[in-house]
Structure 1
Amino acid sequence: MAGSDWTCTLSAMHEWESPDYEPSLPVSEKSNPLTRDIDQASANCIVRMLQACDAQMFQDGTGATYQRLLSEQVVETLTEVAKKVEHILKDPRDSLIVLSGCGTSGRLAFLIASAFNRALKELDQSSVYSYIIAGGDRALLSSQEAPEDDPELGVLSLQKVCEGQKRVLFIGISCGLSAPFVAGQLDFCLQHPEVYTPVLVGFNPTHQARDERIPGCTFTFRSVVQRMQELATHEKAFLINPAVGPEAISGSSRMKGGSATKILLEVVMSAAHAATFADTPVTAMGLLQHMGAYEKTLEITYAQREGIGALLEAAGQSLRRGGRVCYLGWGFLGTLGLIDASECVPTFGAGCEDVRGFISGGYRELNNNEGPLGPDFCVAHEDFLRLVLPSLEDRDAILLIYTHSGDVSGVAELARTVRGKTSNLHAVYHRVDGDTAAAEQQDDINKLCLSSLKFTWPSPASGISLHMQWELSTKLLLNAVSTGAHVLKGKIYQNHMVDLQVTNSKLYRRATRLLQKLSGCPETRCEEALLKAVYRVDELTADIASSDVSAHARAARSGTKREAGVPRLSRHFSWPEFCDERRCFHQEFVYDAAMFAAARGFPWPAVIRVAAVAKGIFPRLDGPDVPRLSSLLRDALSQCLPNLTPVHRHELTRFLAGACVARRRLFQAVVGGAANTSVAQLHLEVELPPAPCPLAQGTDLREWEHQDQLKSMLRQKEEVKGHPVGGQCS
């Protein structure tokens, strides 16, 4: 057991570099020897483990198996890319720097592009940075993993952003060198060298790039990387791919992968800005000094590891007691809270209410491309006051995140409001050494909070923004708090995510490998077991066995949406019919009927009535035989849905009759409460519509329509120009 006596040894720090250590896995998917017992660790011990893992980013690369963050070749490439950025900054006409990625990588693309555009605005310069995130701006705040597997969507998104530009520096971020969305964009750049210069940022060696063929394309990620390597000798393409060691939680690239992405790209952009606006030439030595400032950031942050451990413990207790963790952030640090909260659902299988972020100023402060994203994405402090504050309890942990250069009086005011509902209030703030302007307000905040964690910083050296150091420090802290809290809740086994959803190809492969590692069974048997769980069957059909990974991921996404959709739909009804476990069966039956109607294109008022019909039918399934059941269905549909088209009426009758008849014995057992009734087989055949519908694909309807319109518009434009969309994507 990893208790308070855990120590970090030099051999454990370097064990992952051995060719014999988990040789079949890329670095980004290996387990870290430092954290193999993190599920047994105390809060303070978890923080020490995370500190050791983060320190691996800056390990000396001399004589190492892999090139590292500070390796000569990496720094040389960073210098060349910084000069490319400098050229665009000095002559920005018809030019653009685009940062793109999926999940955490896309969120950091947004964060970095926004920060440097703000820096340009302060200098009265035009913006030259843009960002792309797979799934659009909703992916900034929630998991949108399906688009990650769509290379064509990646290309279309890139074309839309770059329309009319004559020179584009494209920076694609894929920590594992694996995302098809980014691979499609890089391939497109390679086909159009007259406009695009591609840069790839990731954290695996090139021979570990994914070599699995991307559906609909003739290339793999590895083949794209190999083409870039050939062009790199002529500075027509660039690869920045140091190894930073395995993640503390295996495969959780939101942690070191995200931190290293931020460090590398901010070092590049900062050097380019200094060269353009301060006449400081881009040099390898200058970049190394920037890196040193970030290494110092780790040191200052983890000097407060006892305070971080106390926050982690408080958050873990909240989650274990069924409470929530809420980040209330101000300014640019508020964005870090939103990002960290958004990553807990896909990483730990957390509920969407378990960890939430809110930012002062809401979307005005966030300043994302698409603006407000609707009622499902409420991010302002006013939303917290309206939606969360009324139900706050002491089991909910609230974390205030701010700087003394911001609105400290506003922090104190909100702290007083929150303290009226719960005592479980904590503060984290950054200040420059010697700055006492906000001392009085801080004293008031300290009296309201259970704990206050202060980070004091020396005045920054030239060339790096203190705000960027504060951002990295806050990211490290929030990653530690949310990760450690879920470890304490039991969401991690050893150092593996065991509650992940296999909603894209990367996660499907990760789940298969995890089953293989933990069970010791052959890969084929593990994949078979995974597919049975995904499709909820006891035996795999020929259709399932012959489908590709993308089809399995779609099926998993559908199941995931069902688990979230059942309680969401159920909130719109009262359920007096049953007060035991039968209510769950009742609610699932109603949900399935409503989703069938929606997928078949029923008008929305009719979908609502279908749900009502199903709700009324279910309690009456106790007695009828098949003929009486058919009569029951006909009467209910005639009474509640008299205006259905003949086609829709026929389809719905078939669906309900088939579902009820096939599962009638189960329904009788459930509705009648006959616990001893034997059910030989539970298998429901559901007919899919002839063409994939948005809901069947597991995609939000509005997002699907937006993507479909985007594809159609750009495809027509390309046909007019005579250029095929998607390069080698067929």
Structure 2
Amino acid sequence: MDNTPFTERSNEITEKIDVSTPAEMVELLRLTDSEIFSGVNTEGLFSERVLESISGVTSLVEEFLRNFPPEDIAIVLAGCGTSGRLGYLISKVCNKLTSKLSKGRPFYYSIAGGNKSILTSQEAPEDDPNAGVQSLLEICHNKKKVIYFGITCGISAPFVGGQLDYCMKHLDKFIPVLLGFNPLNMARDVEIVGWDKTLRTVASDLNVVSLEGKGFVINPVLGGEAITGSSRMKGGTATKVILETIFLSALNDIGKDTSNTRSCGNVTSILKLYEEVCRNFYKTTANVMSALVQRGGVALTADAKIRYVASGWMGVVPLIDSTECPPTFGSSVDDVRGFVHGGYDFLGIENFGQQEKYFQLGVNDFIKMYKSQDVGNDAVIVFIQSQDDPIMTSILNNDLGDVLINLKGKNKIVAVLLENPTAEKICETDMNKYFDDILRVTFPEYDKTALTYWSVTCREALEESLYSCCLKWLVNATSTGGHVLLGKVFMNYMCDVKVSNNKLYYRAIEIIKKMCHGVSHEKATNSLLKSIYETNVVTEERRNKTVAEHYIFAARKDKVVPLAIVLAKMDCSVKVAKETLQKHSVVRQAILEMAKPLE
């Protein structure tokens, strides 16, 4: 029996993604994303238990928003990495809508590592349950009632676990909701320094609380990710789909007669819309997706960069995608970067760009950067959502157009026109002088029957949410496919993952075992420690260090896992292993030569 959590399992659909063409990659991604809705067992998204939980939480949120003054309540979305970034994005979008509905701004976000984690990997803080509690208290100290959403795809983040545990100790004020994608008995069950619990014990406690009607567990099983363990993809999309369904359905019902118990059919119909849009988007946009994968791969293999430029909350989706590449693929923070119109003023967070240039993320920063450096082969992907998009204005009236003209030819400058099927088409007149390629994406139409009684405001918000999911699929394919073509993936494993937190430390050991078929857990762990400390013999003193001490040291180093794989496979010295890796232009080539495929 395989006890590996579903979120950490290899997906057999994508076992050959590393030797696939861009078009084949897109098809494989389509098949894996469809599992968000089809599931891999009876406990999928549309199972009765999961739908009842989603429906129950929706009714609870609607009740809070309708019956309590906004200043007395908080709806907190908490998570680490991608989960925390999506919590930030969704809370901002929902507050924009509640403001229109005169319901204040009751949505809050809590992300491990603080606002800097929105822009870059700060994964070590996710292993601190006490930091999670402190963050929650800072948000909720003056609130009377709180609905807390703990988002952890693998049910593995101690930062979230600490918050859930605190909520269960204060049920008079907090209603805890766990959102993850494993069965509760597969929650992470490893010791956490400074904590007397594990995620599994917290999940078990919450299950009891939920049976008493004082909390909720939403945990459909989606199966393995396209890239093993990369929950930014299916897990991130499912998080977005479920939370938007809950909040938009609840906001639409404010002021209506909801005395009757909400039926699961209401939320089911909205989830079905996401499924329909997913299916039709891949069907109509596969050629554009594969073209962007190719562009990204060409740039990265030429040691050049991928740049996203966009505006609005839709524009934050590519920005989030860019922040996920370093921990996932071991890439530098400069390899894939996103730029959003309005920069920090639009995001509403402190300006980290004053500290480090890699955190400069406004369109004006993009203009300054490319005015001051002579580059070649970068893939610059500019997303334009309408004729009056601020990006279009910047191109036609400001320095952005001059920069694009100067870059064209030396780099690959691509305009992606994102069009609502019922809106006026974006005019391409004179755009050829700015862009090498113009790719038109028409978002799919969908059956609006389920929205017959929705308000115009909420219907428009849902449509934007549906289409931002499409953009997420598009940019996830671009960055993932680009790194696959670069050689950062072996079969469907992240062979150059950063060992920067508890979860990734244990994932690295499993990757070594998979790459070096037959290697024991003990040998894989020893090889990882040899690589971390660059030593041929791991002393007892080092072996007895905590996992946290190991990954804090490892986080400063590059190619820890590839080096460990070579050490485990060849039984050689660290010096020989490093020399072997240096002979190959990409990690995957070295692994292909030395590691046996899975049998």
The yes-or-no answer on 1:192 pairing with 2:170 is yes
The yes-or-no answer on 1:553 pairing with 2:529 is no
Amino acid in structure 2 at the alignment position of 1:547 = K
- Corresponding residue for residue 417 of structure 1: 403
The yes-or-no answer on 1:540 pairing with 2:567 is no
Alpha-carbon distance in 1 for matches of 2:540, 2:209:
44
- Corresponding residue for residue 313 of structure 1: 294
> Which of 326, 335, 342 is matched with 1:361 structurally?
342
Q: Could you say what secondary structure the match of 2:251 adopts?
A: helix
Amino acid in structure 1 at the alignment position of 2:271 = M
Q: Could you say what secondary structure the match of 1:559 adopts?
A: coil
Equivalent residues of 2:529, 2:538 under 8 A apart: yes
| Aligned residues: CA RMSD | 2.2
**Residues 93-119 of structure 1, C-alpha deviation per residue, up to 9 Å, x if partnerless?**
411100000000000000110110000
The yes-or-no answer on 1:221 pairing with 2:165 is no
Equivalent residues of 1:431, 1:457 under 8 A apart: no
In the TM superposition, residue 66 of structure 1 has moved relative to its aligned partner by 4.5
The yes-or-no answer on 1:476 pairing with 2:462 is no
In the TM superposition, residue 278 of structure 1 has moved relative to its aligned partner by 5.5
- Corresponding residue for residue 428 of structure 1: 416
- Corresponding residue for residue 377 of structure 2: 395
The yes-or-no answer on 1:296 pairing with 2:276 is yes
Alpha-carbon distance in 2 for matches of 1:560, 1:145:
16
Instruction: Point out the more displaced range, 226-235 or 131-140.
Output: 226-235
> Which of 36, 42, 53 is matched with 1:77 structurally?
53
In the TM superposition, residue 351 of structure 1 has moved relative to its aligned partner by 1.5
In the TM superposition, residue 293 of structure 1 has moved relative to its aligned partner by 1.3
**Higher RCO (C-alpha 8 Å, min separation 6):** 2
Alpha-carbon distance in 2 for matches of 1:539, 1:113:
49
Alpha-carbon distance in 2 for matches of 1:194, 1:560:
47
Instruction: Point out the more displaced range, 92-101 or 244-253.
Output: 92-101
- Corresponding residue for residue 641 of structure 1: none
Equivalent residues of 2:71, 2:106 under 8 A apart: no
- Corresponding residue for residue 260 of structure 1: 238
The yes-or-no answer on 1:515 pairing with 2:512 is yes
Query: Which consecutive unaligned segments of at least 5 residues does structure 1 have?
Result: 1-19, 563-678, 683-730
Q: Could you say what secondary structure the match of 1:388 adopts?
A: helix
- Corresponding residue for residue 655 of structure 1: none
The yes-or-no answer on 1:86 pairing with 2:62 is yes
Query: 1:576-655 counterparts in 2 under 5 A?
Result: none
**Residues 211-250 of structure 1, C-alpha deviation per residue, up to 9 Å, x if partnerless?**
1122211111011111111111122111000011110000
Equivalent residues of 1:180, 1:221 under 8 A apart: yes
Q: Could you say what secondary structure the match of 1:182 adopts?
A: helix
Equivalent residues of 2:7, 2:229 under 8 A apart: yes
**Residues 614-641 of structure 1, C-alpha deviation per residue, up to 9 Å, x if partnerless?**
xxxxxxxxxxxxxxxxxxxxxxxxxxxx
Decide whether aligned partners of structure 1 residues 478 and 439 sit closer, same or farther in structure 2, where only a CA change above 3 A counts. closer
- Count of aligned positions: 539
Alpha-carbon distance in 2 for matches of 1:239, 1:680:
46
- Corresponding residue for residue 429 of structure 2: 443
Decide whether aligned partners of structure 1 residues 56 and 29 sit closer, same or farther in structure 2, where only a CA change above 3 A counts. same
**Residues 369-389 of structure 1, C-alpha deviation per residue, up to 9 Å, x if partnerless?**
x45553321110000111234
- Corresponding residue for residue 467 of structure 1: 464
> Which of 497, 522, 525 is matched with 1:527 structurally?
525
- Corresponding residue for residue 407 of structure 1: 390
Alpha-carbon distance in 2 for matches of 1:496, 1:681:
25
Equivalent residues of 1:151, 1:184 under 8 A apart: yes
Alpha-carbon distance in 1 for matches of 2:490, 2:338:
26
- Corresponding residue for residue 225 of structure 2: 247
Amino acid in structure 2 at the alignment position of 1:477 = L
Equivalent residues of 1:95, 1:165 under 8 A apart: yes
Query: 1:165-184 counterparts in 2 under 5 A?
Result: 165-184=143-162
If the length of structure 1 is used for normalisation, what is the TM-score?
A: 0.71
Alpha-carbon distance in 1 for matches of 2:253, 2:510:
46
Alpha-carbon distance in 2 for matches of 1:349, 1:681:
21
Alpha-carbon distance in 2 for matches of 1:558, 1:372:
20
Amino acid in structure 2 at the alignment position of 1:141 = L
Equivalent residues of 1:175, 1:203 under 8 A apart: yes
Decide whether aligned partners of structure 1 residues 247 and 121 sit closer, same or farther in structure 2, where only a CA change above 3 A counts. same
Decide whether aligned partners of structure 1 residues 557 and 70 sit closer, same or farther in structure 2, where only a CA change above 3 A counts. same
Equivalent residues of 1:135, 1:144 under 8 A apart: yes
Query: Which consecutive unaligned segments of at least 5 residues does structure 2 have?
Result: 561-572, 577-599
> Which of 31, 34, 55 is matched with 2:34 structurally?
55
In the TM superposition, residue 45 of structure 1 has moved relative to its aligned partner by 0.5
If the length of structure 2 is used for normalisation, what is the TM-score?
A: 0.86
Alpha-carbon distance in 1 for matches of 2:256, 2:378:
48
Alpha-carbon distance in 2 for matches of 1:25, 1:39:
23
Q: Kindly name which structure, 1 or 2, has the bigger radius of gyration based on alpha carbons.
A: 1
Decide whether aligned partners of structure 1 residues 494 and 506 sit closer, same or farther in structure 2, where only a CA change above 3 A counts. same
Q: Could you say what secondary structure the match of 2:196 adopts?
A: coil
Q: Could you say what secondary structure the match of 1:131 adopts?
A: strand
In the TM superposition, residue 411 of structure 1 has moved relative to its aligned partner by 5.5
- Corresponding residue for residue 43 of structure 1: 22
**Residues 43-69 of structure 1, C-alpha deviation per residue, up to 9 Å, x if partnerless?**
11110100100011111x6xx644001
Decide whether aligned partners of structure 1 residues 433 and 278 sit closer, same or farther in structure 2, where only a CA change above 3 A counts. farther
Amino acid in structure 1 at the alignment position of 2:406 = G
In the TM superposition, residue 353 of structure 1 has moved relative to its aligned partner by 1.3
- Corresponding residue for residue 588 of structure 2: none
> Which of 430, 434, 439 is matched with 1:452 structurally?
439
In the TM superposition, residue 444 of structure 1 has moved relative to its aligned partner by 3.1
In the TM superposition, residue 499 of structure 1 has moved relative to its aligned partner by 0.7
Decide whether aligned partners of structure 1 residues 408 and 435 sit closer, same or farther in structure 2, where only a CA change above 3 A counts. farther
> Which of 304, 309, 312 is matched with 1:323 structurally?
304
- Corresponding residue for residue 613 of structure 1: none
Percentage of pairs with the same residue? 35
In the TM superposition, residue 402 of structure 1 has moved relative to its aligned partner by 2.8
In the TM superposition, residue 338 of structure 1 has moved relative to its aligned partner by 1.0
Q: Could you say what secondary structure the match of 2:221 adopts?
A: coil
Query: 1:156-171 counterparts in 2 under 5 A?
Result: 156-171=134-149
